Amino acid sequence: MTHVSGWRVVVPVKGGDEAKTRLALPPRGRRELALAMALDCLTACLATPGVGLVVCVSDDPDVLRAARAAGTATVCPGRPGLDRALEAGLASLERGPTAVLLGDVPALRPHDLAAALAEALRVPGPALVTDADGTGSVLLADRDGDVPHRFGPGSAARHLEAGARPLGAALPSLRRDVDTLADLTEALALGVGPRTRRALPPELRPHPHDHPRAGHPVRADS
- What pLDDT sits at residue 16? 85
Average confidence (pLDDT) over 50-57: 96
**Ordered domains of the chain (ranges, CATH):** 7-200 (3.90.550.10)
Of 107-121, 124-138, 205-219, the least confident: 205-219
Residue 220 pLDDT exceeds 80: no
Task: Specify the 3-state DSSP secondary structure of 119.
Answer: helix
pTM for this prediction: 0.90
The mean pLDDT of 103-119, rounded to a whole number, is 97
Residue 210 has pLDDT above 60, yes or no: no
Give per-residue pLDDT as tens, 135-145: 999 999 999 99
Q: Taking a C-beta distance cutoff of 8 angstroms, is the pair 187, 107 a contact?
A: yes
Instruction: State the Cα–Cα distance between residues 143 and 158, nearest whole angstrom.
Output: 20
